């Protein structure tokens, strides 16, 4: 039940990617005018994201063959300028750019290890929609997880296995390893992802899909993510896989992609997905997307990730014990908390992980008559307090830690005990409805809670979220 806590990690700078250099220009981008500020200037990853434009849509088309590590790709980004732009930044690492145009005219380009500065032939007027098309190729390289300072850090981004399979897990800033973009959850966009692969391998990605025959012996898997999605949730998994198509009793389509040799046990691991979708829909509000599913890797990656509509599970997260079911519930709950309602800055990660962790307990409470949620929460509260530090603004190294997962869940349980079930579950539903497909902050959550509870809980939240001492759980009213 207790999810792997990445504790004891310290902040490190990103390991550079073996860049193959830019083809047009090589000078340093100018940072001299305010229009080039990378904003939203998230203090956790100051190099990622841009605040001066708003991406509406990404169209990513790429070609891959398992016998070669390189890809050829074209990403087309439709965005709206928030101010006059003489130039703008995109996050992108390592691949060679063959051509870049803005509104069909060749654009100037300079780059660093982590980003591109694009200079359109003509400045873009504030409010204008513009289309940037980037053709590129090369061998994508995963980068070190910035929160992991160990000798063998977790890698994020495009990852190719020795036998030619590919998976992408990007949280928090790995998206730039395979497509140029505005790599921050504050700028969500819809996606088309088209992957051209040989017969015999499947492509799992986000949204809904239709494989269409391409050149002889190849298929293009066209995936469409019609609701806004943060860049870190975009994925492709390219591998021989066997598909399972089902639906929840209430009718939400489920399509799972499993490694052929793990098919039977995976079917068992995910047998409760439909019931979970339907139960969570009753307490969190309607499932926010057109379909759901799981993709199981053969690889042990030490975690699972809530990639929108298609959660990814390392093979080490599964197995027929209770923990696997908790992980399945956790990633599904993220579709509401994290994916549909997204954070505006990484310091608010407890809004994702606290809710997803609490959802595991809500599921257990729903299906297991012997489960006592108060007892389980009291046990969690009794855990090692040195790890239960403040969930809000936990630092880059604390993003995926007991502070955000466990104390995040404890905060929600304490809130529930304080305001009562009726108001707590009303709050949850209004939260997912009010911020559906959008972004929200801890301050937004506190404001909505105060409104629904009809009392000022600022001090309650301060003690639970911003101090390193764990408050006592309120006496149970459940």
Q: Report what 289 binds from ligand ARG, Zn ion, none; CB cut-off 5-8 Å by kind.
A: none
Which residue number, 141 or 330, has a Cβ lying nearer to ligand ARG? 330
Token pair, residue 148, equals 């992991």
Which residue number, 59 or 331, has a Cβ lying nearer to ligand ARG? 331
Q: How far is the CB of 263 from ligand ARG (least distance, A)?
A: 23
Q: Which stretch binds Zn ion (CB under 5 A): 95-103, 216-224, 288-296, 347-355?
A: 347-355
Q: How far is the CB of 276 from Zn ion (least distance, A)?
A: 15
Which residue number, 328 or 417, has a Cβ lying nearer to ligand ARG? 328
End-to-end CA distance of the chain: 22
Cα–Cα distances in angstroms (integers) from residue 276 to residues 38, 114, 248, 392, in the given order: 40, 39, 9, 28
Whether the CB-CB separation of 73 and 140 falls below 8 Å is answered with no
Whether the CB-CB separation of 304 and 313 falls below 8 Å is answered with yes
Which helix (H) or strand (E) covers residue 356, if one does? helix 350-367
Q: Contact positions toward ligand ARG, by CB under 6 A?
A: 145, 154, 156, 171, 303-306, 330-331, 353, 356, 400
Residue 356 in contact with Zn ion, rule: CB under 5 A? yes
The candidate with the shortest Cα–Cα distance to 93, out of 63, 138, 52, is 138
Q: How far is the CB of 247 from ligand ARG (least distance, A)?
A: 24
Interface with Zn ion (CB under 5 A), residue total 2
Which residue number, 219 or 400, has a Cβ lying nearer to Zn ion? 400
User: Residue with CB nearest Zn ion?
Assistant: 356
Which residue number, 269 or 331, has a Cβ lying nearer to ligand ARG? 331
Taking the CA atoms of 397, 145, 435 and 278 in sequence, report the sign of the dihedral they define.
Answer: negative
The DSSP annotation for 153-168 comes to --EEEEEE-TTS-EEE
Residue 406 in contact with Zn ion, rule: CB under 5 A? no
List the alpha helices (DSSP H) in 124-204: none
Strands 96-102 and 105-106, by their bridges, are antiparallel
Which residue number, 145 or 348, has a Cβ lying nearer to ligand ARG? 145
Residue 353 in contact with Zn ion, rule: CB under 5 A? yes
Q: Which residues, listed in sequence order, are joined to residue 61 by a DSSP beta bridge?
A: 74, 194
Residue 348 in contact with Zn ion, rule: CB under 5 A? no
Q: How far is the CB of 288 from ligand ARG (least distance, A)?
A: 17
Whether the CB-CB separation of 439 and 425 falls below 8 Å is answered with no
Which residue number, 166 or 452, has a Cβ lying nearer to ligand ARG? 166
Token pair, residue 341, equals 């309602």
Q: Which stretch binds Zn ion (CB under 5 A): 108-116, 349-357, 372-380, 445-453?
A: 349-357
Three-point CA angle 287, 289, 290, nearest 5°: 110
Q: How far is the CB of 408 from ligand ARG (least distance, A)?
A: 11
* Contact residues: Zn ion, CB under 5 A: 353, 356
């Amino acid at each position: 039940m207790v999810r792997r806590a990445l504790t004891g990690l310290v902040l490190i700078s990103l390991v550079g990617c073996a860049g193959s250099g830019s083809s047009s220009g090589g000078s340093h981008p100018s940072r001299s005018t305010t229009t080039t500020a990378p904003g939203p200037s998230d203090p956790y990853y100051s190099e990622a994201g841009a605040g001066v434009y708003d991406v509406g849509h990404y169209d990513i088309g790429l070609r891959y063959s398992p016998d070669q590590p390189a890809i050829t790709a074209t990403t087309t980004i439709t965005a709206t300028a928030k101010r006059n732009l003489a130039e703008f930044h995109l996050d992108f690492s390592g691949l060679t750019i063959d051509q870049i145009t803005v509104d069909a005219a060749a654009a100037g380009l300079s780059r660093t290890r982590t980003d591109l500065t694009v200079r359109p032939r003509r400045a873009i007027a504030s409010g204008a929609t513009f289309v940037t098309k980037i053709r590129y190729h090369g061998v994508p390289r995963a980068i070190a997880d910035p929160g992991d300072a160990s000798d063998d850090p977790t890698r994020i981004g495009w990852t190719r296995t020795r036998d030619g399979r590919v998976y992408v897990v990007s949280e928090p800033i790995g998206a730039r390893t395979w497509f140029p973009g505005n790599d921050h959850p504050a700028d969500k966009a819809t996606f088309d992802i088209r992957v051209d692969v040989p017969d015999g391998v499947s492509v799992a990605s986000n949204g809904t899909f239709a494989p269409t025959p391409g050149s002889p012996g190849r298929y293009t898997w066209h995936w469409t993510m019609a609701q806004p999605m943060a860049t870190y949730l975009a994925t492709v998994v390219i591998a021989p896989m066997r598909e399972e198509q089902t639906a929840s009793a209430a009718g939400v389509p489920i399509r799972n992609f499993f490694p052929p040799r793990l098919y039977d046990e995976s079917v068992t691991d995910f047998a409760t997905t439909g019931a979970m979708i339907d139960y969570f829909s009753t307490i969190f509000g309607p499932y926010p997307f057109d379909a759901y599913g799981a993709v199981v890797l053969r690889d042990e990656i030490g975690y699972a990730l809530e990639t929108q509509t298609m959660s990814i599970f390392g093979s080490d997260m599964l197995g027929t014990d209770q923990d696997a079911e908790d992980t399945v519930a956790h990633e599904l709950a993220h579709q509401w908390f994290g994916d549909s309602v997204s954070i505006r800055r990484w310091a608010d990660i407890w809004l994702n992980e606290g809710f997803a962790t609490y959802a595991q307990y809500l599921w257990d409470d729903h299906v297991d008559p012997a489960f006592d949620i108060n007892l389980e929460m009291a046990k969690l509260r009794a855990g090692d307090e040195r790890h239960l530090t403040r969930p809000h603004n936990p630092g880059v190294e604390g993003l995926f830690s007991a502070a955000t997962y466990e104390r995040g869940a404890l905060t929600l349980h304490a809130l529930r005990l304080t305001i009562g079930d009726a108001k707590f579950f009303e709050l949850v539903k209004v939260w997912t409805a009010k911020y559906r497909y959008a972004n929200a902050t801890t301050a937004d959550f506190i404001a909505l809670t105060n409104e629904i509870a009809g009392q000022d809980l600022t001090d309650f939240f301060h003690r639970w979220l911003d101090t390193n001492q764990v408050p006592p759980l309120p006496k149970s009213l459940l």
